[in-house]
Amino acid sequence: MKSDCSTSAAPFRGLGGPLRSSEPVRAAPARSPAVDLLEEAADLLVVHLDFRAALETCERAWQSLANHALPEEPAGTSLEVKCSLCVVGIQALAEMDRWQEVLSWVLQYYQVPEKLPPKVLELCILLYSKMQEPRAVLDVVGAWLQDPANQDLPEYGALAEFHVQRVLLPLGCLSEAEELVVGSAAFGEERRLDVLQAIHTARQQQQQEHSGSEEAQKPNEEASPSSLPFLYKLAQLFRWIRKAASSRLYQLRIRD
């Protein structure tokens, strides 16, 4: 009986071409445990709304990256995983009303502000400005923007403008804002003019508020310690008027 070898010898499809007996079988590269933990953390955050567990899972993933980094992974994979872990962790902390811990939490993994990914820095600016605490990120963002390695990133211009709008202008740091906008090549001419116009408007408002506060202080100056003799005389005058009025009313009652 003739054996049918056509089926057994047929090449396997879907593996990047025919698989020949002389070629070794290539296994798919092992995936970092941190990737699985990242997916688990995102699921806990979005689906189960278990924010504490999501944060703890992110921290386990960071620990896994530190201990079990795989050399065969593409260079950008680890950076993307770290950035995504920060995004999930920031959201989890915010949901638990622990937003004050966000900056210290991300810096414990990146060590210095200059190494923060642009997306993570943007989230920090957005969070702290939304909570009306932009001063908390002032120095961190300033250090990031001054680092020459970051100035070549495509996100630099958008982050610089975001810093001006969300941090420097609300804090009244107008000179610092102007210096950043004028001195940075990341701003196109049109955007530079728009941001400088916003700074000019903020300066006008600042001057108006300053002049208004000076006007509001003038009545208070009358109540300062130097004006106490005047207030004392005024009080004496009121007492004399009340005494005279009551005496006059008493006389009128007697006559009646």
**Count of domains in the chain?**
2
Q: What's the distance, CA 114 to chain centroid? A: 15
pLDDT recorded at residue 111: 93
39 has pLDDT over 80: yes
Residue 81's domain comprises: 32-97
| pLDDT-based confidence at residue 68 (cuts at 50, 70, 90) | low
25 has pLDDT over 50: no
User: In this structure, is residue 146 part of a structural domain?
Assistant: yes
User: In this structure, is residue 3 part of a structural domain?
Assistant: no
pLDDT recorded at residue 228: 42
pLDDT recorded at residue 209: 83
For residues 117 and 89, membership in a common domain is answered with no
pLDDT recorded at residue 74: 62
pLDDT recorded at residue 132: 96
User: In this structure, is residue 149 part of a structural domain?
Assistant: yes
The average pLDDT across 188-197 equals 92
For residues 87 and 120, membership in a common domain is answered with no
The answer to whether the beta carbons of residues 122 and 97 sit under 8 Å apart is no
Q: What whole-number distance in Å separates Cα of residue 214 and Cα of residue 221?
A: 10
143 has pLDDT over 80: yes
Mean pLDDT of the chain: 79
Residue with tokens 């990737």: 35
225 has pLDDT over 90: no
| pLDDT-based confidence at residue 66 (cuts at 50, 70, 90) | confident
For residues 76 and 133, membership in a common domain is answered with no
For residues 128 and 193, membership in a common domain is answered with yes
Q: What's the distance, CA 98 to chain centroid? A: 13
The average pLDDT across 171-175 equals 95
pLDDT recorded at residue 110: 95
Domain boundary residue among 97, 127, 151? 97
- 248-252 long-range contacts, Cβ below 8 Å, gap at least 24? none
The average pLDDT across 135-146 equals 97
The average pLDDT across 42-65 equals 96
List the structure tokens of 68: 């079990």
Q: Give the lowest-confidence range in 23-27, 162-166, 171-175, 176-180.
A: 23-27
Q: Which residue has the higher pLDDT, 225 or 142?
A: 142
69 has pLDDT over 70: no
Q: Give the lowest-confidence range in 59-73, 140-154, 237-251.
A: 237-251
102 has pLDDT over 70: yes
User: In this structure, is residue 243 part of a structural domain?
Assistant: no
Q: Which residue has the higher pLDDT, 232 or 96?
A: 96
User: In this structure, is residue 57 part of a structural domain?
Assistant: yes
- CA proximity to 164, closest of 145, 151, 147: 145
For residues 71 and 132, membership in a common domain is answered with no
